[in-house]
Chains A and B, each alone.
Chain A
Amino acid sequence: MNAYLLSLAIWVPILGAIPVLLLGSERRFLVRWLSLAVAIAGFLVAIPLYMGFDPAVAGMQFVEQAPWVPRFNLQYLLGVDGISMPFILLNSFITIMVVLAGWDVITNKQGQYMAAFLIMSGLMNGIFSALDGVLFYVFFEASLIPMYLIIGVWGGPNRVYAAIKFFLYTLLGSLLMLVALIWLFLVSGGSANILDWHQLKIGMAPQILIFIAFLVSFAVKVPMWPVHTWLPDAHVEAPTGGSVVLAAIALKLGAYGFLRFSLPIAPDASDYLAPLMIALSLTAIIYIGFVALVQADMKKLVAYSSISHMGFVTLGFFIFNPLGVEGALVQMISHGFISAAMFLCIGVMYDRMHSREIADYGGVVNTMPKFAAFFMLFSMANAGLPATSGFVGEFMVILGAVKFNFFIGMAAAVTLILGAAYTLWMYKRVIFGEITNPQVAKLADIGYREFLILALLAICVLAMGLYPYPFTEVMHASVENLLKHVAVGKL
């Protein structure tokens, strides 16, 4: 059973999506419950990955190997280490939230909507567990298709522009990565195994080219400044579920790619280009933080805040100390919960008011007290309040950065002020104050389903903030191993 856990985590949602698609759009009751069942099944098969994980082992676990394309020596090779395993759990968990979030709101082609998310969930698990470079690429690029459709079919007024921009931006990066993968495949003498590539001796010049090819791909996905402009568009136009998956999972793919490809395959180039990466990260943290401050649209604000938080993640990776990398990983997971929760909260309001403009709100606390409490918690977490998960990762990265260079640490710490400023200011304008809009006066508080979603996420955010050890424990050995590998270099 243990030997097929990763395959199950990938294929249960994808194959489960087929009956959902076949049910059609009319049988909404069946479609919803079946999708929920598939999503929960997907989460259940992912749990043993955590329970059976041995934190003392730095290498790959739950490895599955089968020939896939012998003609090119490509393998169906899966495995997870402490870096990738938590994301499979996170992804499977978020999928349940997304299915619940689309329960009543999506009326047009609900079967296709649910199926797209289930398929995407399986593909994302595939990305996190693929150890064959081409298999990784296949999952990586295939995951664009459901997202393209989700934004384009169920999105807002400007959805076509956003969907095509999203697709082409990401494709631009991944095609360059494809050429890099082919180059590595040929140089390693016909092996597509990522772990073989880690050991491959490559000179400095090719390392830099490889690093840049991967950088374009992953930087678009993260997204890093200055290739971030697709994200606010995609977020604003996407339906709530789409925004949740984008922010919680899709952005993590790029960051994960840095750890799986860029750092171990081109360690010397990573070291050499680290100042550039740090500069880009700090720009994202500070400049994008200011950009977030002036947004009038709540979704845009959270989108920019995501970019800023992901800047923290890339900063943590390129200061090359365990605190930084682990902090970045914790930040990724915590951001998965918090951004999902923020977008779901905005979705709750949007479903009632059909507006995302901050100016249309004010005084929501009077009519939706339960919702206001949840929103408060998540806003605080987004601002990095201690005892929430947002604090742990940021604090670790800042500590790591101070160790690396005091001024970089100080610049990164600016986010604590900026983050608090844009999040809480938005919270204040939306939730508190007088009711100026008559529609706000008629708002109904959250129902059981919404309560359930937000409560589950709140538990995760608090648990991770109060006791992050279960998360860092599994990562530790793998991160140490990675950093040792990077420190040795290949020259």
Chain B
Amino acid sequence: MLNNFVVPDFYPLAPEILLLSMSFVILLADLVLGKTQRWVAFALSIITLLGCAAATVMTVNAQTVLTMSNLFVDDLLSDFLKLMTYLSVIMVLVYGRQYLIVRGLDKGEFYLLVLFATLGMMVMISAASLLTLYLGLELMSLSLYALVAIDRDSKRATEAAMKYFVLGALASGLLLYGMSMLYGATGNLNIADISQVLYQGQADKTVLVFGLVFIVAGIAFKLGVVPFHMWIPDVYHGAPTVVTMLIGSAPKLAAFAMTLRLLVYALFAVVAEWQQMLLITAVLSIALGNLAAIAQKNIKRMLAYSAISHMGFMLLGLTSGVIGKEVDPFTAINAYSSALYYTLAYVLMSLGSFGMVLLLSRTGHEAEELDDFKGLNQRSPWFAGMMLVFMLSMAGIPFFIGFFAKFAVLTAAVKAGYLYVAIGAVMFSLIGAFYYLRVIKLMYFDEAEDKLPLVARTSFRILLSLNGIAVAAFGLFPDAVMSLCTAVLLHSL
């Protein structure tokens, strides 16, 4: 056996290796750092992520590279998603700095867990085998469970972490069960091989479709779409806002990669089956997310329900790839790139809106209620304008990024023949517009109850402003990112 051993090509793994080694450095450094030197961990984490970005850029290669006995893939899609992941994690760290310090949560563990979660996402994004995928998923999820509970004294956070953990473990179990069925049906764990076997028609269809249902359920849980959405509002609400922000951003990118790798790369042969399932979850998510968000008084819960509806929209894009039995590569790429673009747009908007929640929070006061936004225009016209941009963008009003994301998805859906689904989706976004408008109403039309000036670091203010400007600028000039999404998928599929 040992004679066959080939030393794998480690080069494509450079970012992962760097991140892992640096995590240990931070772990050790944290032992000797005093309370006042905590900024070192923060700075090291940022440097690590920037270093990973550099390493990822170095490994960019138009060809798809498989390594580690075909367990790990480095293609343009993985490079692109990883870069976006670093970006959003860096943003979370910068946004959360003040929040953590004020609440005494600025501990080494936080940075370590965030980096481990990032590593998990990177492994997920680069998974070429069901095993790698599961490994990455678990690493990410376990880190996130712990992060939700990082504020040990908060009952609500502990409860949320417990819920997240129990339900998440269940979902992982479902996914694993589905994967084992898939293995049973095809005799392979490798994604490319599975798809090969399925195309040759050698798989047992009954077992396969049975497994598919479990896989879709697992994916739906991780994305947080109906009917596996129950954890989203509670976890978003219960977790410290920084952690909510993290859960609401980068993991969506990883979950997108997982969805794509499992459903499109491995299971494209049974596309008709999973498209139907996704279509139902997509429609239900858009409906339930938008309806339930109206009743919320807590902005984190409102954004949680809005996340459900946004993920529904993203799935609508994913489900529009194949029309009937006809497989047209261009239609498929267009549909998947619309979903990818939607995910990116959502991450950007979500980071911004949670950033606003952080901005309004201060010592001893969590700005979690919608009423905390009252009269923001009097306190700070600039940041009220930023929130206006985020809310309108989420509602899908032009000229903001959310409009073109919806436009791309709806175009794909109408092209796939889901005209009535598209009409239903826009009607629910009309309902959705109401609760986004309510936030604007509170900021602009109402008198401020809380007249204290906003406290935030300069870096926070600059980042939040850039975030808002990006949401507006990519709405005015959406082409660059859209074309990038398409090009990336074109080279990776």
Chain A residues with CB under 8 Å of chain B are 21, 24, 67-72, 109, 112, 134, 137-139, 141-142, 144-145, 148-149, 152-153, 159-160, 163-164, 167-168, 171-172, 175-176, 178-179, 182-183, 185-186
Contacts and interface: CB of A to CB of B under 8 A. Distances in A.
A167 B381 contact: no
Nearest to A74: B479
A168 B433 contact: yes
A144 B426 CA distance: 17
B290 interface: no
17 contacts: A21-B381, A67-B479, A71-B483, A137-B398, A138-B399, A139-B398, A152-B440, A164-B437, A164-B438, A164-B441, A167-B437, A168-B430, A168-B437, A171-B430, A179-B422, A179-B423, A182-B422
Interface stretch (B3-11, B275-283, B403-411): B403-411
Nearest to B408: A72
B414 A153 contact: no
Contacts of B51: none
Contacts of A183: 414, 419
Contacts of B437: 148, 164, 167-168
A142 B445 contact: no
Contact of A167 (B419, B433, B444): B433
Interface string B233-269: 0000000000000000000000000000000000000
Nearest to A69: B479
A179 B419 contact: yes
B478 interface: yes
Given A138-B398, A159-B445, A182 B410 contact: yes
A153 B426 contact: no
Contacts of A149: 440, 444
B423 A176 contact: yes
B411 A186 contact: yes
A346 B414 CA distance: 48
B445 A153 contact: yes
A175 B430 contact: yes
Nearest to B482: A71
A160 B479 contact: no
B426 A175 contact: yes
A134 B476 CA distance: 12
B157 to A, nearest CB: 35
A152 B445 contact: yes
B397 A144 contact: yes
B411 A160 contact: no
Contacts of B392: 145
Contacts of B430: 168, 171-172, 175
Interface in B391-437: 392, 397-399, 403-404, 407-408, 410-411, 414-415, 419, 422-423, 426-427, 429-430, 433-434, 437
B319 interface: no
B467 interface: no
A179 B399 contact: no
Contact of B414 (A139, A148, A186): A186
A134 B423 contact: no
B294 to A, nearest CB: 12
Given A134-B407, A168-B434, A160 B445 contact: yes
A42 to B, nearest CB: 19
Q: Which 3 A-B pairs have the closest CB atoms?
A: A138-B398, A175-B426, A152-B445
In this complex, which of B388, B414, B483 has the most chain A Cβ atoms within 10 angstroms of its Cβ? Answer: B414
B321 to A, nearest CB: 15
B351 to A, nearest CB: 22
Given A69-B482, A152-B445, A142 B399 contact: yes
B424 to A, nearest CB: 10
A138 B434 contact: no
A99 to B, nearest CB: 20
B309 interface: no
A456 to B, nearest CB: 32
A167 B399 CA distance: 16
Contacts of B377: 109, 112, 153
A145 B397 CA distance: 9
B441 A152 contact: yes
A152 B443 CA distance: 11
Contacts of A172: 430
A186 B397 contact: no
B486 interface: yes
B414 A179 contact: yes
B185 to A, nearest CB: 37
A141 B479 CA distance: 20
Contact of B411 (A153, A163, A182): A182
Contacts of B419: 179, 183
A186 B415 contact: yes
Given A144-B397, A145-B397, A164-B434, 6 more contacts: A139-B398, A145-B392, A149-B440, A168-B430, A168-B434, A182-B411
Contacts of B404: 69
A449 to B, nearest CB: 27
A146 to B, nearest CB: 11
A175 to B, nearest CB: 4
A269 to B, nearest CB: 17
A335 to B, nearest CB: 28
B423 A138 contact: no
A69 B484 CA distance: 12
B440 A112 contact: no
A163 B445 CA distance: 10
Contacts of B410: 178-179, 182
In this complex, which of B403, B404, B434, B437 has the most chain A Cβ atoms within 10 angstroms of its Cβ? Answer: B437
Nearest to B429: A175
B315 to A, nearest CB: 18
B290 to A, nearest CB: 13
Contacts of A137: 398
B399 to A, nearest CB: 5
Interface in B72-122: none
